Structure 1
Amino acid sequence: MKTLLLNKDEVGSLIDLDAVLEAVENGYKAFNSGKVVQPDFMSIELPGSHACIDFKGGLDLAGGYITIKSSAGGYKGNPELGLPTGMNTVMLFEASTGALRCVMDGTWITGCRTAAAGAISVKYLAREDAKTLCIIGAGNQARRQLRAIIRVRDFSEVVVWNASPGALDEYVREMSAETGLDIRKCETAEEAVRAADVVVTTTRAHRGPIVQKAWLKPGTHIVAIGSDMPGKQELGADIFKEAKVVNDAVELCIKYGDTQHAVNEGIITPEEIHAEIGEILLGKKAGRESQEEITIFDSVGMAIQDTVTVAMLYEAALDKGLGTPYEFFK
């Protein structure tokens, strides 16, 4: 039996963001159609450090694949060894046989499928007349969110804030040149949020809430990306009180997402969460229902996003003859 090995460059050459958007949207629909088996993820931390490896796995009954993805991060000493501080690897199994069909570098996968999640929420939850996009953060995910979101909506202005002025200047310079958009840096997070119709938060979420309720205009859509572990937070918990709250997966977001703080503080109950995004895509629940309501999409990331994206890339690699076949056994 042959297993296909795909390195980072090979995976990168196969990435088609429009195809990723379609795959993730279908994955959300499958999840809320009962066609996904998704156990809780596992995290193993190195004692006395922030270094850890997370493992997410899931079964896509519609596509016939199982994936397990490892995400290593926080290894601050790695650059001295010639290694990145974070690494991602994905294994793709054929569900009907258990055969390992592919092992691929997951660097592009995590970033692109996360960007697709934010863009899908903007497509279905932001006001049709939204014109100003706010990005909080200036790292790789902040770049990917912008690339994905402008595929589903047109914005006349983009405002950006980041805690590091140097990273902020670099973001504005690079992304203005890449997209041709009017991108304006802001001196404070408050300045950026107050100007926005759509707010996207892409920080590490270690410093406590960045976005405050008083800064939000009526009708704002919020995409909360950074919180994916207990204790992380980007949004003031009181924002959830009168907002329409949509999660990628309620079970995960009340543990790991920004939603955890609103639930833990008694601001909302899990039953008051309006919907999972797949329910809206399937028409089981309403999306935006007024120009005035504030909508929140809280996403911690789901294994089904990895599974549908990896399966698509594996099949594309077979079509293009990319990768290295390896026989673990004959």
Structure 2
Amino acid sequence: MKTLLLKKEEVRGLIRMKEVIGTVEEAYKAFNSGQVIQPPYIGIDLPSHRGEIDFKLGYNQGNEMISMKASSGGFTGNPEQYGVPNGMGTVLLFDGMSGALVCVMDGSLLTGLRTGACGAVSVKALARKNASRITSIGTGNQARMQIRAIREVMKIEEIHAWDHHPETLARYKADMESEFGIPVLTANSKKEAVENADILITTTRGKGSLVEAPWIKPGTHIVAIGADAPGKQELDPQIFRGAKVVVDSIAQCVEKGETQHPINAKIMARGDIHAEIGEILLGRKPGRKNDEEVTIFDATGMAIQDNTTAAKIYRNAIENKVGAFFDFLE
């Protein structure tokens, strides 16, 4: 069995955001249908090199694929010292029935795509049907990816944005208005931005509360992306009081997600989590109850999302005869 090699630009041309939204929905449903084996992911912190690398591994009975993704970040000196990006990713796909390596692909785009898509999936399941204004706290690559995905599932009339750095905020406004033709209103404060949100997206690397509970208006849907490790935080834990809390994985979110903080503060218990999102997509639990409810989607990212998205890229590559084959066993 030969192995397919897919480089970054080849991967870029093999998948569209609408397809990624479908693969993420597939992943969540598989996870809550007992089709997934997904060990806890491993992270290695390398403070002496100002970087970290995570490894996520998953098996999906539905597509008979095993995936392993290595994803690095930080490494601030990389471009100058080594001529490589600060963050990189590699995905290995193995045939689930034989264990043979069938594909090696660049994974640097995949993580951003499937993380953006998870926000769109949550908007479909949990946001008000008449939601039209999005607020982004943080204006980096993932903030942009969230908009790219969410606009596939709803009409965005305006974007409100805030960032610590005025020059970054100005660049975000220019780029997003150019790409989508959607007006971007830059806020003078976090409070101002949040108070305008029908849908609030947080995509920072925060280590403290950025968004305060009194700023959240009834009916807001919150997509909490930034917290994916112990100690990371973007939301005031009081926001969770009385909200409908939905997560990608309970096991991950109570330890590494935004949900760790209200649980640690005794504002809520693990049992107060309404659902894993796959349960809502499968129709086992309800989504939004009314237009006044505050809903929170806490996403830490799961290997099964990498699995289904990488498998779709692989299938598209085979169908379109993209990539180069090699044989480890020769």
Q: TM-score range by the shorter chain?
A: over 0.9
Match for 2:35: what amino acid? K
Query: For 1:14, what is the secondary structure of its paired residue?
Result: coil
1:189: how far off? 1.0
Which residue does 1:58 correspond to in 2? 58
Alignment partners' CA distance in 2, 1:239 and 1:313 = 38
Query: For 1:317, what is the secondary structure of its paired residue?
Result: helix
Alignment partners' CA distance in 1, 2:302 and 2:75 = 23
Which residue does 1:249 correspond to in 2? 249
1:264: how far off? 1.0
Cα deviation, 1:26-62, whole Å, max 9, x if unaligned, reads 1101110111111000111225454121100000101
User: Number of residue pairs matched?
Assistant: 329
Match for 1:158: what amino acid? I
Cα deviation, 1:101-154, whole Å, max 9, x if unaligned, reads 001010110000000000110111001111211111111101110010011011
Which residue does 2:327 correspond to in 1? 327
> Does residue 269 in structure 1 map to residue 269 in structure 2?
yes
Which residue does 2:279 correspond to in 1? 279
Alignment partners' CA distance in 1, 2:26 and 2:54 = 24
Query: For 1:209, what is the secondary structure of its paired residue?
Result: strand
Gaps of 5+ in 2: none
Which residue does 1:116 correspond to in 2? 117
- Superposition map of 1:136-215 within 5 A: 136-206=137-207, 208-215=208-215
Q: Structure 1 stretch 225-234 or stretch 46-55: which is displaced more? A: 46-55
Cα deviation, 1:289-327, whole Å, max 9, x if unaligned, reads 011110000000001100000000001011111111111
> Does residue 221 in structure 1 map to residue 221 in structure 2?
yes
Cα deviation, 1:216-258, whole Å, max 9, x if unaligned, reads 1101000000111100001111111110000000000011110
TM-score normalised to structure 1 length: 0.98
Alignment partners' CA distance in 1, 2:37 and 2:314 = 20
Match for 1:311: what amino acid? A
Match for 1:244: what amino acid? K
Match for 1:84: what amino acid? P
Match for 2:205: what amino acid? R
Match for 2:62: what amino acid? A
Alignment partners' CA distance in 1, 2:96 and 2:117 = 25
Alignment partners' CA distance in 1, 2:170 and 2:265 = 37
Match for 1:18: what amino acid? K
Alignment partners' CA distance in 2, 1:239 and 1:34 = 31
Query: For 1:113, what is the secondary structure of its paired residue?
Result: helix
- Superposition map of 1:4-43 within 5 A: 4-43=4-43
1:155: how far off? 2.2
Alignment partners' CA distance in 2, 1:49 and 1:268 = 37
Which residue does 1:98 correspond to in 2? 99
1:164: how far off? 1.1
1:162: how far off? 0.9
TM-score normalised to structure 2 length: 0.98
Alignment partners' CA distance in 1, 2:117 and 2:288 = 19
Query: For 1:266, what is the secondary structure of its paired residue?
Result: coil
Query: For 1:210, what is the secondary structure of its paired residue?
Result: strand
Match for 2:227: what amino acid? S
Match for 1:160: what amino acid? A
Alignment partners' CA distance in 2, 1:108 and 1:72 = 12
Which residue does 1:312 correspond to in 2? 312
Q: Percent identity over the alignment?
A: 50
Query: For 2:209, what is the secondary structure of its paired residue?
Result: coil
Alignment partners' CA distance in 2, 1:32 and 1:56 = 18
Cα deviation, 1:262-302, whole Å, max 9, x if unaligned, reads 11111111111000000000011110001111000000000
Cα deviation, 1:60-110, whole Å, max 9, x if unaligned, reads 101110000001111112111211111110000000000000010101100
Q: RMSD value over aligned CA atoms?
A: 0.9
Gaps of 5+ in 1: none
Alignment partners' CA distance in 1, 2:8 and 2:140 = 19
Which residue does 1:69 correspond to in 2? 69
Alignment partners' CA distance in 1, 2:185 and 2:218 = 22
Alignment partners' CA distance in 2, 1:148 and 1:154 = 11
